[in-house]
């Protein structure tokens, strides 16, 4: 009889302990601790070479943000897991907890900041606006007219910025992730203009002079439009994890490693046949 | 499912329905016109033209539709230095694909007209044009309508392929609205119902035509029968 | 009209370099075709066909509704819906490939179930009655009398659906699976040479389609031999 009560009492004690442990961290969910406990750092990426994209031959993700994600995983002492997503679903996926953070060339816009927390920017970029050489608008001022059609991939700033800056113009969103395809639309006149970042424009001019010939660059590198920062995104509320990522990014920016890595990857892509 | 959200955006969805129907109309017209032409070549006298028609039919029936649409929209303007909108590129391609299928359907209909009809017409001294327009084609038409309507329901489903090149049809509208509001399920469910409401009646009509015009063993016509009683709904056999 | 300068600038060596990658994408399409035909067409399709033939309304009506719904809605919409609805409703996060497979399986099953049902119905009622008159039990009737004849009736049209399934797998590219079209898009972004890449992809798809279609045609002919429809 006594041993039974002892055993019953022990069970109650264990139960109380389990409940206490389960209840303890619930008032401040620490994503960082959770990642360390889990042993895996899950990162969502949308394809955008050379920032992050699968190598065509090997299928493994590589790029600027992959390198940085691997560094973060090493600091945390965990394995890195890349979860592929598309630009249209990358933020819903974060909200649905399919991954812990978005490590991609994601522009930190106020609209997005309503639903996610952004780190500090690791780069700031403005945009070129390119137009069809034969029939497109010839200057930045001519862009805000209902006769102009912009094209951009749906879910990206290339689609939302024209709507913001040139409200009179039409904007067509495309579903394909193929930059060459929708820039090709500007080259062939199916669309009149598009936003394009300097790195991608340089790649285009290098790899396809025939396409580059058919488009006009309306603003030079000294007059880039709508500068905005590239940053990483996490779900709102994880302050500790945000601080950690910011410390990491400040480090990368201060040492100039962000510029080094970017140049390395853009050169890689330019060289690749 | 969030009905209110869908209703608030019903304008955009309605625009999508209009585009979908427009694609179907343009494609259908091109399909019928070109299909008749290809069929004429296919059963014609010149072997070269017959072979070319066969090649056309083979190519457009075998190649996946999405790939053709993609290629037509992104590559042809670059090669030909001409700009063509997604709607026209896609509709024309769908029409050309339909032409291949319709050519075969027309051919089957024409060949199903009993040979005796052709011989009788010739023996009555009818020349080619009246023979075709007064004797063969009307009878072929009866046999062709059911498969035609049947293909049209497939065709309506194919209109969604144009969303791949950014044509704002119903499916792309729903996808973009879902992306904007992060409420994919509501919009996708809504358009699934809309597509069903558009396509299912066509399927039913095709089935009715099949049993009224094509089936020798069709149920005898009852004077006051309803639409549904003429359908052969499934019954257990075992 | 034709931009000759552009045509001259086309460099198809890039297609040769990346041919293995494109073929890898094509392989995914072929894999999905197999999954669609075997799991969808045959396994789920037979189940649906039998459900549709059931004498119990409570089984027949849901099966009928299922078949009609999956036949009268576009595969594109079905695929995207499955990809977002399944995680939303059940909480299980399906990978794009899994969502694509599920949508394809149900779509193909709906089509094939009609063919299978037609095959079973095509075996005359007399066969059922004769088997019963001979005292055969239901299971033996199905296995020894009905199914062999039904299979011979349904196999030719079923084989004919394989090419349609192959073409349908290209639609699933919207779900971000590494299939032919998506691989082609990726390569086009890498190389900025869309015309070369997409033309090669189209040719590959045509070749595989032609092989499947021709094989299907000869298989159909071989299967029809010896039946009332055959040679």
> What is the CATH code of the structural domain delimited by C26-224?
1.10.3720.10
Give the residue, C225 or B108, on which the prediction is more confident: B108
Cβ distance B66 to C52 less than 8 Å, yes or no, reads: no
Please give the Cα distance from B14 to B16 (Å, whole number): 5
Cβ distance A209 to C194 less than 8 Å, yes or no, reads: no
Cβ distance C186 to A178 less than 8 Å, yes or no, reads: yes
Please give the Cα distance from A204 to C210 (Å, whole number): 35
Closest CA in chain B for residue C138: B238
- As a whole number, mean pLDDT of residues B15-29 equals 95
Residues of chain C positioned with their CB less than 8 A from the CB of A98:
93
Among A14-18, B170-174, C184-188, which is the least confidently predicted range? A14-18
Task: State the pLDDT confidence band at C222, using cuts at 50, 70 and 90.
Answer: confident
Residues of chain C positioned with their CB less than 8 A from the CB of A179:
189, 192
Please name the helix (run of DSSP H) or strand (run of DSSP E) that holds residue A271, with its range, or none: helix A257-271
- As a whole number, mean pLDDT of residues C26-33 equals 95
Task: State the pLDDT confidence band at C71, using cuts at 50, 70 and 90.
Answer: very high
Closest to C76 (Cα-Cα) out of B77, B195, A197: B195
> What DSSP state is assigned to residue B63?
S
Residues of chain A positioned with their CB less than 8 A from the CB of B73:
190
Q: Quick one: pLDDT at residue B64? A: 95
The answer to whether B74 contacts chain A (CB < 8 Å) is yes
Task: State the pLDDT confidence band at C29, using cuts at 50, 70 and 90.
Answer: very high
Q: Quick one: pLDDT at residue A27? A: 42
Whole-structure pTM value = 0.85
Please give the Cα distance from A188 to C3 (Å, whole number): 11
The answer to whether C210 contacts chain B (CB < 8 Å) is yes
ipTM of this complex prediction, to 2 decimal places: 0.87
Residues of chain B positioned with their CB less than 8 A from the CB of C85:
185, 188-189
Q: Quick one: pLDDT at residue C229? A: 55
Closest CA in chain A for residue C7: A210
Q: With a CB-CB cutoff of 8 Å, which residues 76-105 of chain B face chain C?
A: 78-82
Handedness of CA C102, C69, B167, B69 (dihedral sign): positive
Closest CA in chain C for residue B182: C84
Please name the helix (run of DSSP H) or strand (run of DSSP E) that holds residue A232, with its range, or none: strand A225-234
Q: Quick one: pLDDT at residue B63? A: 95
Q: Quick one: pLDDT at residue B237? A: 35
The answer to whether B228 contacts chain A (CB < 8 Å) is no
Closest to C79 (Cα-Cα) out of B7, A154, B66: B66
Give the residue, B146 or C229, on which the prediction is more confident: B146
pLDDT in tens, C127-150: 888 888 888 888 888 888 888 888
- Which residues is A124 bridged to in the sheet? A229
- Quote the strand ranges of chain C, DSSP E: none
Q: Quick one: pLDDT at residue A249? A: 95
**DSSP assignment of B102-162, as one string?**
HHHHHHHHHHHS-HHHHHHHHHTT--HHHIIIIIIHHHHHHHHHHHHHHHHHHHHHHGGGG
Residue B230 has pLDDT above 70, yes or no: no
Domain edges within chain C? 26-224
Residue B188 has pLDDT above 60, yes or no: yes
Q: Quick one: pLDDT at residue A18? A: 56
Chains within contact range of chain A (3+ C-beta pairs < 8 Å):
B, C
SS3 assignment, position B62: helix
Facing B176 at nearest CB: one of A135, A154, A189: A154
Q: Quick one: pLDDT at residue A220? A: 85
Give the residue, B213 or C91, on which the prediction is more confident: C91
Among B4-8, B155-159, C178-182, which is the least confidently predicted range? B4-8
The answer to whether B63 contacts chain C (CB < 8 Å) is yes
Residue B216 has pLDDT above 80, yes or no: no
A31-123+228-271, CATH topology level: D-Maltodextrin-Binding Protein; domain 2 (3.40.190)
- Mutation target to probe the A interface, by most A beta carbons within 10 A, among C9, C92, C183, C194 is C194
Q: Quick one: pLDDT at residue A19? A: 56
Among B117-121, C58-62, C219-223, which is the least confidently predicted range? C219-223
- Which residues is C64 bridged to in the sheet? none
Q: Quick one: pLDDT at residue B129? A: 83
Residue B238 has pLDDT above 80, yes or no: no
Please give the Cα distance from B5 to B184 (Å, whole number): 11
Cβ distance B192 to C77 less than 8 Å, yes or no, reads: yes
Closest CA in chain A for residue C17: A273
Cβ distance C9 to A209 less than 8 Å, yes or no, reads: yes
Cβ distance A56 to C183 less than 8 Å, yes or no, reads: yes
Low-confidence ranges of chain A (pLDDT < 50): 24-28
- As a whole number, mean pLDDT of residues C22-41 equals 93
Residue B236 has pLDDT above 70, yes or no: no
Q: With a CB-CB cutoff of 8 Å, which residues 79-108 of chain A face chain C?
A: 84-86, 96, 98
Closest CA in chain C for residue B70: C198
Facing C17 at nearest CB: one of A96, A179, A273: A273
> C208: burial class by Cβ within 10 Å (0-12, 13-18, 19+)?
buried
| Cβ density class B192-217: b for 16+ within 10 Å, e for less | bebbbebbbebbbbbbbbbbeeeeee
Please give the Cα distance from B191 to B202 (Å, whole number): 17
Give the residue, C187 or B223, on which the prediction is more confident: C187
Closest CA in chain A for residue B74: A181
Give me C159's structure tokens: 């084989």
**DSSP assignment of C169-195, as one string?**
HHHGGGG--S-HHHHHHHHHHHHS-HH
Give the residue, C207 or A175, on which the prediction is more confident: C207
Closest to A67 (Cα-Cα) out of A269, A267, A264: A264
Instruction: State the distance between the two ends of chain A, measured CA to CA, in whole angstroms.
Output: 81
pLDDT in tens, A169-224: 999 888 888 889 989 999 988 899 999 988 889 888 888 888 888 898 998 888 88
Cβ distance A88 to B164 less than 8 Å, yes or no, reads: no
- Pairing outcome for strands A40-46 and A101-107: parallel
Residues 6+ apart with CB under 8 A from B158: B27, B65, B94, B97, C74
Cβ distance A49 to C190 less than 8 Å, yes or no, reads: yes
User: What are the structural domains of chain B?
Assistant: 3-230 (1.10.3720.10)
Task: State the pLDDT confidence band at B218, using cuts at 50, 70 and 90.
Answer: very low
Please give the Cα distance from C17 to B102 (Å, whole number): 39
Facing A190 at nearest CB: one of B77, B176, B184: B77
Residue B224 has pLDDT above 60, yes or no: no
- As a whole number, mean pLDDT of residues C175-190 equals 90
Facing C198 at nearest CB: one of B58, B75, B171: B75
Q: With a CB-CB cutoff of 8 Å, which residues 146-175 of chain A face chain B?
A: 151, 154-155, 172-175
Q: Where in chain A is the domain with CATH 3.40.190.10?
A: 31-123+228-271, 126-227
Angle formed at CA C103 by CA C101 and CA C106, multiple of 5 degrees: 105
Helices C194-224 and C147-171, interaxial angle, to 10°? 170
Asked if B183 and B2 count as a contact pair (C-beta separation under 8 A), the reply is yes
Facing C189 at nearest CB: one of A175, A178, A209: A178
The answer to whether B85 contacts chain A (CB < 8 Å) is yes
Closest to A181 (Cα-Cα) out of C27, B159, C196: C196
Please give the Cα distance from B6 to B187 (Å, whole number): 6
Give me C65's structure tokens: 């509704």
How close is the nearest chain A Cα to the Cα of C207, in Å? 22
Among B82-96, B175-189, C67-81, which is the least confidently predicted range? B175-189
**CA distances, C188 to each of A63, A74, C193 (Å):** 17, 33, 5
- Pairing outcome for strands A149-153 and A170-174: parallel
C145 C-beta neighbours (distance < 10 Å), count: 17
Give me C165's structure tokens: 């399934």
Q: Quick one: pLDDT at residue A145? A: 87
CATH of A126-227, one of 3.40.50.720, 3.40.190.10, 3.30.360.10, 3.10.250.10: 3.40.190.10
Q: Quick one: pLDDT at residue A69? A: 95
Cβ distance A269 to C174 less than 8 Å, yes or no, reads: no
Q: Quick one: pLDDT at residue A8? A: 60
């Amino acid at each position: 009889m006594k041993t039974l009560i002892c055993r019953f009492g022990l069970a109650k004690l264990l139960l109380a302990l389990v409940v206490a442990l389960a209840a303890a961290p619930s008032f401040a969910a620490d994503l960082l601790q959770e990642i360390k406990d889990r042993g895996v750092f899950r990162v969502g990426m949308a394809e955008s070479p050379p920032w992050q994209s699968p190598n065509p031959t090997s299928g493994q993700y590589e790029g600027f943000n992959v390198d940085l994600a691997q560094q973060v995983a090493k600091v945390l002492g965990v394995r890195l897991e890349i979860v592929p997503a598309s630009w249209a679903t990358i933020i819903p996926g974060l909200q649905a907890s399919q991954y812990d953070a978005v490590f991609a060339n994601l522009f930190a816009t106020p609209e997005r900041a309503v639903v996610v927390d952004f780190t500090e920017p690791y780069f700031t970029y403005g945009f070129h606006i390119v137009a069809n050489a034969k029939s497109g608008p010839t200057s930045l001022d001519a862009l805000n007219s209902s006769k102009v059609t912009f094209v951009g991939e749906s879910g990206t700033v290339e689609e939302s910025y024209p709507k913001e800056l040139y409200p009179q113009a039409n904007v067509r969103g495309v579903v394909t992730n193929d930059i060459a395809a929708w820039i090709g639309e500007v080259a062939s006149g199916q669309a009149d203009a598009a936003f394009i970042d300097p790195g991608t424009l340089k790649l285009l001019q290098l790899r396809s002079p025939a396409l580059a010939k058919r488009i006009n660059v309306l603003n030079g590198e000294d007059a880039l439009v709508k500068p905005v920062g590239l940053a990483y995104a996490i779900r709102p509320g994880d302050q500790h994890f945000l601080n950690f990522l910011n410390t990491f990014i400040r480090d990368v920016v201060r040492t100039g490693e962000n510029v080094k890595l970017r140049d390395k990857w853009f050169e890689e892509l330019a060289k690749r046949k | 499912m969030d009905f209110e959200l869908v209703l608030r955006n019903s304008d955009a969805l309605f625009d999508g329905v209009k585009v979908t129907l427009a694609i179907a109309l343009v494609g259908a017209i091109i399909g019928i016109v070109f299909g008749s032409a290809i069929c004429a070549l296919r059963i014609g006298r010149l072997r070269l033209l017959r072979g070319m028609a066969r090649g056309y039919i083979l190519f457009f029936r075998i190649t996946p539709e999405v790939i053709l649409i993609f290629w037509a929209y992104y590559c042809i303007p670059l090669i030909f230095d001409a700009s063509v909108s997604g709607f026209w590129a896609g509709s024309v391609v769908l029409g050309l694909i339909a032409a291949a299928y319709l050519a075969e359907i027309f051919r089957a209909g024409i060949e199903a007209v009993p040979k005796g009809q052709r011989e009788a017409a010739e023996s009555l001294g009818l020349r080619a044009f009246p023979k075709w327009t007064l004797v063969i084609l009307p009878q072929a038409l009866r046999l062709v309508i059911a498969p035609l309507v049947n293909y049209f329901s497939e065709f309506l489903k194919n209109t969604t392929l144009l969303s791949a090149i950014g044509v704002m049809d119903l499916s792309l509208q729903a996808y973009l609205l879902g992306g904007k509001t992060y409420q994919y399920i509501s919009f996708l469910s809504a358009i699934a119902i809309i597509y069903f409401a558009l396509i299912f009646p066509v399927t039913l009509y095709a089935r009715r035509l099949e049993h009224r015009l094509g089936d020798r063993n069709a149920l005898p016509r009852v004077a006051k029968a309803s639409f549904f009683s003429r359908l052969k709904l499934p019954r257990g056999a075992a | 009209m034709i931009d000759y300068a552009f045509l001259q600038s086309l460099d198809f060596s890039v297609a040769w370099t990346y041919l293995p990658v494109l073929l890898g994408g094509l392989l995914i399409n072929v894999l999905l075709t197999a999954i669609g035909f075997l799991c969808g067409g045959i396994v789920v399709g037979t189940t649906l066909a039998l459900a549709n033939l059931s004498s119990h309304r409570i089984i027949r009506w849901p099966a009928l509704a299922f078949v009609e719904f999956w036949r009268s809605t576009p595969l594109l919409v079905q695929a995207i819906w499955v990809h977002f609805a399944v995680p939303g409703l059940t909480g299980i996060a399906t990978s794009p490939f899994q969502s694509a497979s599920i949508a394809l399986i149900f779509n193909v099953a709906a089509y094939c179930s009609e063919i299978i049902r037609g095959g079973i119905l095509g075996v005359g009622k007399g066969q059922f009655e004769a088997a019963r008159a001979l005292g055969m039990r239901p299971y033996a009737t199905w296995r020894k009398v009905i199914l062999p004849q039904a299979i011979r009736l349904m196999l030719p049209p079923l084989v004919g659906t394989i090419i349609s399934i192959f073409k349908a797998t290209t639609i699933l590219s919207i779900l971000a699976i590494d299939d032919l079209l998506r691989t082609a898009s990726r390569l086009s972004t890498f190389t900025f040479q869309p015309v070369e890449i997409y033309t090669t992809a189209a040719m590959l798809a045509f070749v595989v389609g032609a092989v499947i279609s021709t094989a299907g045609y000869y298989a159909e002919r071989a299967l029809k031999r010896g039946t009332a429809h055959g040679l």
